[in-house]
Amino acid sequence: MSAEIIISDASGIRIDKYLSERTDLSRTRIQQLCDCGKVEAGGKPVRSSYKISENEEILIDIPDDEVPDVLPEDIPLDILYEDSDIIVINKPKGMVVHPAPGVTSGTLVNALLFHCRDLSGINGVLRPGIVHRIDKDTTGCIVACKNDFAHTAVSRQLENKTCHREYLALVTGKIVHDEGVVDAPIGRDQRDRQRMAVTEKNSRPARTHFKVIERFRDATLVECTLETGRTHQIRVHMKFINHPVVGDPRYGSKCPYMDTQGQVLHAFRLTLVHPRTQQTMSFEAPLPKYFSDLLDIYRERI
């Protein structure tokens, strides 16, 4: 259980709207807390439609999330590399990396728990072994760690930017420049808490390097390298420069030529220093069939 106290700096605004703009909680979540009597203003529980007054003390009582049982599941894995310290997976489209509220099975963690005898416990029971993540509909390389020693070492590489992650993305429109860097901070979208956006408010620095690989009549294949690892970073940055990822349901639009089941984005290469041997290792995940088929369609339209 945690509590947050906010002294309001406005008046006449619904409390659910006000709090959703000033906390990490969604408006829906705040409404649920109001329904349970967990939001107080002036010392009394209030409804989500309550209009706040300036300098009013607002108390939000946030219950701890229930931790679901995460069970091993016999889900096939496309393993690119494995030893006693790390395992590198070619994650398929549609697979969530770790359990979350409402998603407790079918995740990469469920599959790893079945395949591996041990996983690092640093990230807790919901994310054992997970050092970084990629979105549900993004495919490609992801590394997991089997012990805390490896987890600490790989995490440090991510922090120090010595672990390199390279992606292939098909984006809308023709990018004129052969290469470039998008250096723009990313934070929660103030109008839609389910989205991220380039913003100066409550944001963190984010840098994405891109290089044009191939141009089509109405799209561009680019290679993107992450210097930072913000949520939805490539998707947000490509939208920011007016070239959203093809098929992206959140930041772009559906692909006009085939059902891509989400963004056309593939983590094709991962380079890191092995935590125990100190050898630099590079892993590549082959392009998914849907991605290569779509490229053929675009090539026919040149």
Q: Which of 16, 85, 135, 137 is catalytic?
A: 135
User: How many Cα atoms occupy the beta-carbon half-sphere of 124 within 13 Å?
Assistant: 7
3-state SS class at 241: coil
Cβ proximity of 141 and 288 under 8 Å: no
For the question of residue 78 being annotated catalytic, the response is no
Task: Characterize the bridge pairing of strands 139-145 and 265-273.
Answer: parallel
Q: Which helix (H) or strand (E) holds 233?
A: helix 233-240
Instruction: Give me the sign of the Cα torsion angle 34, 26, 137, 269.
Output: negative
Residue with tokens 């992650």: 165
Whole-number Å distance between alpha carbons of 35 and 42: 17
Angle subtended at Cα 168 by Cα 164 and Cα 169, rounded to the nearest 5 degrees:
130
Just list the catalytic residues: 135
